Chain A
């Protein structure tokens, strides 16, 4: 098994630079990621970092480097988030954790793209597990506005940020009420009043700033939020209770240009029609079924499918899982599995896989760039040795932007060190 894997990687590695080179991965079960069912005996062709074609009857250019994927799956790379990937080495080690900015006088202006570390070992660990991109978000702390998140790739190159300031993150509900002044109405007021001030700032920055210390909003925070009310930057709102979702959606009446996305939405299914009517997409774990808080009393694993049935675009998130970002594929697989249970609603395989590939891209308006193997998209491609939603499968090769990635991480090297028998000649520290 291991030898076969190394052989495959050696093949992949020869095409690593990807400059003006065409790669054809052939003969595998193809999971495009756009919601369609898997295609038997499919092929994907990519060139200069972009997908050229994917399907069952694809013309393979004569100059293409061919990689045989018979008996395997060829799939779009997984996109996860919101996550702290790239911002944190170890969650519990405060010195390494840049996700929250408790003592900063700034909030909405905080731009995490300045701090992404592409060499964090967690990025390697997630990449070898099939995750190719992530929406990395700041954590709210002193304000309900956490700041601006970015879309990153998990490649080994030194430039991880694909789209800086891709979204503003705001927290509502039980967590938001703390940062918002201790109650839901106070948090909602903070939300509305901040947006009103941003409107004032946009109308006349000079007049707004002339208020001096009386202004409740700093200039850079106001500037960051102008992009939000103008709809240039998406607004990700963490909210769970059905009534809170209604309250948040009501903001759209006064700010029709807001491009709002709900994050969490545990009780989203109760207000699915309103969410759909507002054209607001949802990012949800899909695995929640416990009343873990009073705002998630109605959580159910049928949430995602019910939202989908109402016409809402649904993406899945690992939700900060300790298992890592790649657990979204297990969450997606479970949503296929529950369809067999009387009384529960699940997703088709194609929709479940889309919920961890093209849907996260769509939520951020990036579906023409990433998230599927449709022509023109960035070539984020993973070869799996089986169904990518099944627990027995593992990635065999990963390309990001058409560049073959090393399949090595802190975890794989530890594994290899301890798989080998101890010789007693030298400590294991000499095995590398």
Chain B
């Protein structure tokens, strides 16, 4: 019952021989521009499940981009949104659902989850979220730790209405590794969950976690200035790596040494991988923004950003998003100034803002987390419409994950990732009624076998219970 956020920094061992060794590949000696290394060696094998054309009508629609239709309708077919409007005709053979008293929204997109890498049960044998043996590990990829049977995926679907989520490495390291974006559909392999074509993210971290994970063992970094020093040395190396490979790919000659860690940073410098940066304090976020300018990369989003409200304008002016909690506060020194109005103040400033979970529990009620943030804002005199606030749950996180052209709102042609709620989703009394992913009905609260149970939970005490 200790109120200390698990830092999820794991047991930190001193770097053993070879722990940071890069997997060198044989040099090519071709003198002409060679085909470069694969950018997608673990490709998605996700396939949408079959669905039927579905029309939900007489329903309150939040379209995810700030639009609202009372008594409206949403039609989807072949895995895609076909139309939304006040009133739509059902095509032949369509399932028609009366949404009276209900709300329909885009599926929730969680930009910050550790499901699969810190799964339930939280045993050491399955806790694979922090490669806490070195503060610089851009070579590790979260997808190689994801356990697809984590019961948390199913809970996030049926209780949370989460249809897409980004799995991040933990925050023990300055460079924590690559993230992976998943569709929230159970599969036997992580490849079969991967969101097709979603860009990778790079998890970075500021502040207390890296310095305490390593400083305690008399290793660098032990201070915030040590954090930035290692960051800069690493980026300097990455800039040089990129120069060599760019030159090789353009002009040929001897291929530079392959460095798996630097591959990731090179793609960041090229804008292909999005930086997702754990950072709490305003002053540290400002330092990171300057560092990004120094080396020519962009921070896509600060995660947690508990002091985002203090520098909302700076974030806005630099085009950096903030992904925050509603009300977590005071559990560590750098969260001391957390306030419930953070999201509303960011929104008021015009900053790209969103909710995130960072929690297997929180991911089951992100709609409620937004409701709390809205309430705090409204009590402070910041009026934000419910339908605008839904941007914090789907469209803005989709933007910050580079997939807003495919999901995150109910626009024709986009993936039919849709949630039907049995009431206003910002009420504590409302529950998820149905969830579709790519148009396939993957949860129906009224149908006992329309809910997933992970392999792990079969025959466990309480298995099959409605969780």
A334 touches B3 (CB 8 A): no
Q: 0/1 per residue, B140-151, Cβ < 8 Å to A?
A: 000000000001
6 A/B residue pairs, CB under 8 Å, sorted by A: A1-B379, A91-B331, A92-B208, A290-B151, A294-B123, A320-B2
Interface of A with B (CB < 8 Å)?
A: 1-2, 82-84, 88, 90-93, 97, 99-100, 121-122, 125, 137, 139, 238, 242, 263, 267, 270, 287-294, 296-302, 317, 319-324, 327, 330, 333-334, 336-338, 340-344, 389-394, 410-411, 414-415, 418-419
Contacts of A411 on B, CB cut-off 8 Å? 329, 338-340
> Which residues of A lie under 8 Å from residue B122 when comparing CB positions?
292-293
Report the Cα distance A9→B240, complex, angstroms. 62
- Minimum CB–CB distance from B453 to chain A (whole Å) comes to 12
B4 beta carbon closer than 8 Å to chain A: yes
A343–B328 Cα distance when bound, in Å, is 31
Say if the beta carbon of B427 comes within 8 Å of chain A. yes
Min CB gap B329→A, angstroms: 6
- The reply to whether A83 and B3 contact each other, CB–CB distance below 8 Å, is yes
- A1, B381: Cβ atoms closer than 8 Å: yes
- Taking a contact as CB atoms under 8 Å apart, the answer to whether A302 and B327 are in contact is no
- In the complex, B120 has a CB within 8 A of chain A: yes
Any A CB within 8 A of the CB of B1? yes
Could you tell me the distance between the alpha carbons of A258 and B191 in the complex, rounded to whole angstroms? Answer: 55
Taking a contact as CB atoms under 8 Å apart, the answer to whether B381 and A2 are in contact is yes
B445→A390 contact, CB < 8 A? no
Point out the residue from A297, A393, A414 that lies within 8 Å of B339, measured CB to CB. Answer: A414
- Which residues on B sit within 8 Å (CB–CB) of A419? 341, 345, 380-382
Give the CA-CA distance A419 to B368 in the complex, in Å. Answer: 23
Q: Give CA–CA (A91, B331) in the complex, Å.
A: 5
Q: Tell me the nearest residue of chain B to A298, going by C-beta.
A: B462
> Given A292-B121, A394-B375, A418-B309, is A270 in contact with B1 using a C-beta cutoff of 8 Å?
no
Contact B465 A91 (CB under 8 A): no
**Chain A hits for B445, CB < 8 A:** 341-342
Q: In whole angstroms, what is the CA distance A287 to B364 when docked?
A: 10
User: Given A1-B378, A342-B446, A392-B375 in contact, is the A289-B364 Cβ separation under 8 Å?
Assistant: yes
Known A-B contacts A289-B155, A414-B337, A419-B341; A391 and B360 likewise in contact (beta carbons under 8 Å): no
- Cα distance, A319 to B336, chains bound together (Å): 20
Given contacts A323-B328, A340-B431, A419-B381, contact A290 B3 (CB under 8 A): no
Identify B329's interface contact among A92, A290, A322, A418, CB under 8 A: A322
**A83 contacts across to B, CB distance below 8 A:** 1, 3
Contact of B426 (CB < 8 Å), options: A290, A299, A392: A392
Which B223-254 residues sit within 8 Å CB-CB of chain A?
A: none
Query: For the complex, what is the distance from the CA of A432 to the CA of B376, rounded to whole Å?
Result: 20
Bound together, the chains give a CA A287 to CA B467 distance in angstroms of 10
Q: Which residue of B lies closest to A292 (CB)?
A: B120
B3 touches A267 (CB 8 A): no
Across-interface contacts of A289 in B (CB, < 8 A):
155, 159, 364, 467
Query: Which residues on the B side are within 8 Å of A292 (C-beta)?
Result: 120-122, 360
In the complex, number of A-B residue pairs with CB atoms less than 8 Å apart? 192
Contact in complex: B465, A300 (CB < 8 Å): yes
**Assembled-state Cα–Cα distance A414/B325 (Å):** 17
Evaluate contact between B2 and A91: CB separation under 8 angstroms: yes
Find out whether the CB atom of A84 lies under 8 angstroms from the CB atom of B2.
Answer: yes
Determine the chain A residues whose CB is within 8 A of the CB of B448 once the complex forms.
342-343
A333 to B120 CA separation, bound complex (whole angstroms): 25
Asked if B361 CB lies within 8 Å of chain A CBs, one says: yes
The residues of B that contact A327 with a CB separation of less than 8 Å are: 327
Q: Is A337 in contact with B430, judged by CB distance below 8 angstroms? A: yes
A333 to B446, CA, bound (A): 22
Q: In this complex, which of B1, B338, B445 has the most chain A Cβ atoms within 10 angstroms of its Cβ?
A: B1
Bound CA–CA A137/B44 (angstroms):
49
Distance between A111 CB and nearest chain B CB, rounded to angstroms? 18
Report if A392-B431 is in contact (Cβ < 8 Å); known contacts: A90-B331, A342-B466, A343-B448. no
**With contacts A392-B426, A414-B339 known, is A92 near B1, CB below 8 A?**
no
Complex Cα–Cα for A256 and B302 (A): 56
Question: Quick one: closest A residue to B334, CB to CB?
Answer: A92
User: Which residues of chain B are within 8 angstroms of A125 by Cβ–Cβ distance?
Assistant: 329-330
**Is A336 within 8 A of B429, CB to CB?**
yes
Known: A84-B1, A289-B467, A302-B465. A90 touches B330 (CB 8 A): yes
Which residues of chain A are near B430, meaning CB under 8 Å? 337
- Given A391-B372, A392-B371, the answer on whether A324 and B151 have CB atoms closer than 8 Å is no
Query: Which residue of A has the minimal Cβ distance to B429?
Result: A337
**Interface residues as binary, B447-467 with A (CB distance below 8 Å gives 1, 0 otherwise):** 010000000110011100111
Residue of B nearest to A343 (CB): B466
Contact status of A418 and B340, CB under 8 A, knowing A84-B2, A289-B155, A291-B460: no
Q: Which of A2, A82, A99, A341 has the most chain B CB atoms closer than 10 A to its own CB?
A: A341
